[in-house]
Structure 1
């Protein structure tokens, strides 16, 4: 498939290094869009902005980075402690979406009992790991057809597919699957296992 270079830039940050004589160097994989030397980038949810001085891949300088590239890029104007793993870099004209709430479709893979509203497991979205509360189970779906089986069920369990409302306990970047599918997918983990997998279908922006 063609690389999603026409979509807005999204680079989930894996690590941030401070290199003597160079400065702050975030490391991550370009999921969508293109990053070029000289670009101004914004990191969300940290809200920090800086200028890209150089880009490296496999210890070689490159003028631009495209989807699939694992890169380190030197950013001027940002201290190492101002950004962190789980931040997403984008361009200021189409910044990463920080949500206060989102709607998702999930498939429950395993759970010892049942999942009800109020459950607050850890959502793994790109490089972020954030505890999120399932505030509402909107409906239960037929896993084969996607048809609604039941509205507002009390709980869902292993093997069920459902639409849920989710409220992160702290700022989180996630995108709608219709906009940027690469940043819409997530796993829900609890008790040392993957409870569910899902995609974000709608967002309420935090700002």
Structure 2
């Protein structure tokens, strides 16, 4: 189906840190596995789709973006990075105004749940390019 079902781990070291990347599922049917992965994290990368309609669905009252951000904070993850994915599919492609709109809305929500938006890195990304 093209979705992550279980968590996956990758490990590497830097001069100062031991790093473990945990890829946790985002699909609603596998939320238990997402919780398992997130509960082990020091930092979370929240991927938000920039596509028209996709972002709006995720940030809506019962959307996955809201649920994942809230779960991460509730599970003790205090460092957050937001990847604004599929920015190439915005109109026009790589639209700065769409990126800023998403950043503003996500910042507003994560502030309500306890994150400091000024300390959250927002990164426009594209898996396509």
| Alignment TM-score > 0.5, same fold | no
**Bigger proportion of residues as helix:** 2
Determine which structure has more spread, i.e. the larger CA radius of gyration: 1
Higher strand content, 1 or 2: 1
Under a length normalisation based on structure 2, what TM-score does the superposition of the two structures give? 0.32
